[in-house]
A and B are shown apart, each in its own frame.
Chain A
């Protein structure tokens, strides 16, 4: 691994940003843990017994793991096939499609849920006269399918990232000796494995801690127990104890799946060069990849079409927009602020990850472990942390949803920035250090242009994910205010309507526009900063 900031002095802004990272990411969990310890010492409640699921809860836990595993398997296989097809497609259109495919991850899962509910209901209506039994709109299978569709972009993105990180020369060396399929299956895929495995790990933990999609299909999962238990008893410690097996499982899976990620040759997706000669594929691989691409297209077309048809008229669309004007503005404000505030903290953490010291391993744990926390737990932790008399009001204000999004997505931004920092030749920074006439000048003229694509990508990802955040926001949103996501989720429980379809469509367009904006800016970056960015984009 190249040692990027080996000799970089640790400045006070950097230390301050690191402290901020720890506070926003670990503050809620630390507060919740402290509350739980005090709860256990008091000897009140059923205590530690909650941490070991038994009876109905054990069965629920096993079922939840089964669902998460099957979602991971489906998403990974489809992700590998579709990702490999997009990797092969190195044209201008292919470049934008990559971004669309990856950023579709930001389309909240409940949008997929609503879209597929509509499709399944329509299929039922259409098939009944023909004597076919309609597909049940509820249950594990539908929940599995919708989760696979919602999480497939992670599989696609990580496969693309992994394949792009494979040195082209290694592939060319194989192409001279063996058929294209062999060089793909025996060289490219094994070398991309660390990132594909990491993607599978992410899919598993997101699926395991998500209760929104299963609950919409009348499927009870273990993550919902945490939310339900807290809602019923309002006791934070119970929620943490109940979440213990979930956290243990997710941390174990994360540790295993991310073990090779830190040393993997990460290569951001905004650097593509056309193939000198496009690699060929055997027919079986070509058709399987086409099928996966078709499913990836379904992933976006089904929500777009079914939601558009559900809305019916343009008047319904404008009515939906008008009725949620406040929520749209609130969501936009929260997402924008989160994206802006997350960057300095994420950058500081990413810098720690690139260091050669043993501490970087510790920082890797600090950056990845928060991803294992279920969203409701972060919400509950924030309430425990801020629901106290303070000279300034945080609890009950609109700062709470921002803090929730920061706690959830700053680590993800740090990983994206780490990938960008790994691309920078340390010698360039050493040279800048030798010739620099001032800290600001070195930063603005050397560092910033080189890391800017990573900053932009991180900001877009945090923005899009914050706009769709639900698990924690649902608990911490200030009275009288709600994000667009919360509004949609509440509507969904009353059944589908033109209004909710309109709002879901707005969310989908927001995610798509963010992805395309990022892609356009990254592609145009070299024209904005032709000299500084030539090597990096």
Chain B
């Protein structure tokens, strides 16, 4: 589904992603772990088309979507993206935020899908609220709902549970798991929390200094790595 071949990205003198090669199968869940500054977010942004690689290629299906010479617009990649910060559009309410990605559906279909994702993310009743009228945890759920609403073939999540309290994190992990299982999307989940990685993914890779330094199976094998 997603293949990354010798992907390299440099910012000034700092190489954020250094020759990374990986493949994620259809409906597979992959977690990318590593300490801060290890290149996790950059890798995700390269796959999403929000950064241009210096070397290497990104394939979605059989199509090259990113290379130093070619970059397919992010919205043409069939992906959903959940950012570290909720990044909700402040001038749109919850329903409008979610409906933004559903312009390809008719009005009725769009409303139907909206109701579905609101139910999945326990947000029913929040439709008319604006981002500054909801809590941090609710905002994260809206972000997830917004990303899964268009039924993307691939979902990229960049530390979506960062800065949440442990109780809320636990609940949110459940919601993410349900949403992913329901949508059947391929998942690439970036985190530096090994517990999250183990619970949400079937395979885990570890990045350090922009390179893959380890790979283990999730759910069955507990991670032993720890980060400062």
A interface residue numbers (CB < 8 A to B):
167, 169-170, 172-180, 182, 186-187, 190-191, 276-277, 280
Asked if B79 is an interface residue, CB under 8 A from chain A, the answer is yes
Residues in B whose Cβ lies below 8 Å from that of A170: 87, 89-90
Q: Which of A173, A276, A277, A280 contacts B89 (CB 8 A)?
A: A173
Separation in Å of the A459 CB from the closest CB of chain B?
A: 32
Interface 1/0s, chain B 182-221, versus A by CB < 8 A? 0000000000000000000000000000000000000000
* 30 interchain pairs, CB-CB under 8 A: A167-B87, A169-B85, A169-B87, A170-B87, A172-B50, A173-B83, A173-B87, A173-B88, A174-B89, A175-B73, A176-B48, A176-B74, A176-B75, A176-B79, A177-B75, A177-B80, A177-B100, A177-B146, A177-B150, A178-B75, A178-B101, A178-B103, A179-B73, A186-B100, A187-B89, A191-B91, A276-B45, A276-B50, A277-B50, A277-B51
Question: How distant is the Cα of A186 from the Cα of B45 in the complex, in angstroms?
Answer: 22
Verify B73–A180 contact, CB threshold 8 A.
yes
Residues in A whose Cβ lies below 8 Å from that of B40: none
Report if A191-B90 is in contact (Cβ < 8 Å); known contacts: A176-B80, A177-B75, A180-B73. yes
Verify A175–B74 contact, CB threshold 8 A.
yes
Within 8 A of A (CB), among B77-97: 79-81, 83, 85, 87-91
Verify B52–A277 contact, CB threshold 8 A.
yes
Separation in Å of the A79 CB from the closest CB of chain B?
A: 21
Residues in A whose Cβ lies below 8 Å from that of B79: 176
Question: How distant is the Cα of A191 from the Cα of B87 in the complex, in angstroms?
Answer: 13
Separation in Å of the B188 CB from the closest CB of chain A?
A: 14
Verify A173–B81 contact, CB threshold 8 A.
yes
Separation in Å of the B52 CB from the closest CB of chain A?
A: 5
Asked if B71 is an interface residue, CB under 8 A from chain A, the answer is yes
Total A-B residue pairs with C-beta atoms closer than 8 Å? 62
Separation in Å of the A230 CB from the closest CB of chain B?
A: 46
Question: How distant is the Cα of A174 from the Cα of B88 in the complex, in angstroms?
Answer: 10
Question: How distant is the Cα of A176 from the Cα of B150 in the complex, in angstroms?
Answer: 11
Asked if B160 is an interface residue, CB under 8 A from chain A, the answer is no
Separation in Å of the A282 CB from the closest CB of chain B?
A: 11
Verify A169–B83 contact, CB threshold 8 A.
yes
Verify B83–A277 contact, CB threshold 8 A.
no
Q: Which of A172, A180, A186, A187 contacts B83 (CB 8 A)?
A: A172
Asked if B39 is an interface residue, CB under 8 A from chain A, the answer is no
Question: How distant is the Cα of A191 from the Cα of B52 in the complex, in angstroms?
Answer: 26
Verify B51–A178 contact, CB threshold 8 A.
no
Asked if B110 is an interface residue, CB under 8 A from chain A, the answer is no
Q: Which of A182, A186, A277 contacts B71 (CB 8 A)?
A: A277
**In the complex, residue of chain B having the shortest beta-carbon distance to the beta carbon of A172:** B50
Question: How distant is the Cα of A191 from the Cα of B131 in the complex, in angstroms?
Answer: 14
Task: Beyond A172-B81, A178-B100, list 16 extra A-B contacts (CB 8 Å).
Answer: A169-B85, A169-B87, A172-B83, A172-B87, A173-B88, A175-B75, A176-B50, A176-B79, A176-B81, A177-B100, A177-B146, A191-B89, A191-B90, A276-B51, A276-B52, A277-B50
Residues in B whose Cβ lies below 8 Å from that of A172: 50, 74, 81, 83, 87
**In the complex, residue of chain B having the shortest beta-carbon distance to the beta carbon of A173:** B87
Verify A174–B100 contact, CB threshold 8 A.
yes
Separation in Å of the B172 CB from the closest CB of chain A?
A: 18
Asked if B34 is an interface residue, CB under 8 A from chain A, the answer is no
Question: How distant is the Cα of A180 from the Cα of B87 in the complex, in angstroms?
Answer: 17
Separation in Å of the B42 CB from the closest CB of chain A?
A: 10
Residues in A whose Cβ lies below 8 Å from that of B45: 276
Interface 1/0s, chain B 44-84, versus A by CB < 8 A? 01001111100000000000000000010111000111010
Separation in Å of the A458 CB from the closest CB of chain B?
A: 29
**In the complex, residue of chain A having the shortest beta-carbon distance to the beta carbon of B150:** A177
Residues in A whose Cβ lies below 8 Å from that of B81: 172-173, 176
Separation in Å of the B89 CB from the closest CB of chain A?
A: 6
Residues in B whose Cβ lies below 8 Å from that of A187: 89
Question: How distant is the Cα of A170 from the Cα of B79 in the complex, in angstroms?
Answer: 16
Residues in B whose Cβ lies below 8 Å from that of A182: 103
Residues in B whose Cβ lies below 8 Å from that of A179: 73, 75
Residues in B whose Cβ lies below 8 Å from that of A191: 89-91
Residues in A whose Cβ lies below 8 Å from that of B52: 276-277
**In the complex, residue of chain B having the shortest beta-carbon distance to the beta carbon of A179:** B75
Residues in A whose Cβ lies below 8 Å from that of B51: 276-277
Separation in Å of the B152 CB from the closest CB of chain A?
A: 9
**In the complex, residue of chain A having the shortest beta-carbon distance to the beta carbon of B84:** A169
Residues in B whose Cβ lies below 8 Å from that of A180: 73, 75
Residues in A whose Cβ lies below 8 Å from that of B146: 173, 177
Interface 1/0s, chain B 110-141, versus A by CB < 8 A? 00000000000000000000000000000000
